[in-house]
Amino acid sequence: MKTLFATVRQPSVTPTQAGGNNGLLYTAQSRYSGKAGEAISITLLDNGANKPLVVSVNGLAISVQLATDASDTITTIANDIVDAIDRHQDARALVFVQCTEGSGEGTGPARAVSQTFLAGGTGVGVSGANVVVFTRDMAGVNPFTVILENTDGANATGAIATEWAPTASGPWTAIDGAEGAWPGSLAAGAVVTRAFVDKPLRFFRLKVSQGASPSSVMATVVGG
């Protein structure tokens, strides 16, 4: 069995820096999709006067020593950080960096930033009823298994459902896996699977409803 697709997001972060025209967005590279990318961190350091711009990587932690002059004024601008990380093989393998919209093309001076972890890679947010986690054309894929994880740290989901349709626009019909119907909810951190074998499938979708509070889920589909 191989992974056909997964509903993971690329974690990212824009650390807060004083001043203007210096906003940077750090986004995990594709190999660090989902929760794996949330272990990546960014630190911008002011280590005193007369320091060069230096990028270093320790595991998944990227540190950038900002360049300074004799009076300990930071001379590194945001664009310098973009270029320095792009030139650093290990750092570039972890993140892609770009200037944020409205950041004046990164011409503003950088500022020291304490260690900040990437975030937002824990799956699809579930807020409200019948949130469609994914819709895929599964023609010719048989069998396959849906693995659903509640990636929220505290909140359970509500109802879970899978449906199929002959066209992308429907009509949609409920369909259960070989193990039977999905549970009525999925506790925080819990995982549930359902296998689909010899089903009359074309377009297939997974829906999850909010429980008492919003949560997030990640779905992985394996088959082949």
Sign of CA dihedral 205, 208, 209, 213: negative
Q: What are phi and psi of 87, to 5 degrees?
A: -85, -15
Read off the amino acid at residue 150: N
- What does the alpha-carbon distance between residue 121 and residue 119 come to, in Å, rounded to a whole number? 6
CATH 1.10.8.100 describes domain 124-223:
no
Question: Number of helices (H) and strands (E), helices first, in the chain?
Answer: 2, 16
Each domain of the chain, given as residue ranges in start order, spans: 9-117, 124-223
Distance CA 108, CA 202 (A): 52
pLDDT by residue, tens only, the chain of 224 residues: 788 888 877 788 888 777 778 889 999 987 887 777 889 999 999 999 999 999 999 999 999 999 999 999 999 999 999 999 999 999 999 999 988 756 567 888 999 999 999 987 777 889 999 999 999 999 889 999 999 999 887 899 999 999 999 988 889 999 999 999 999 999 998 999 999 998 877 999 999 999 999 988 989 999 87
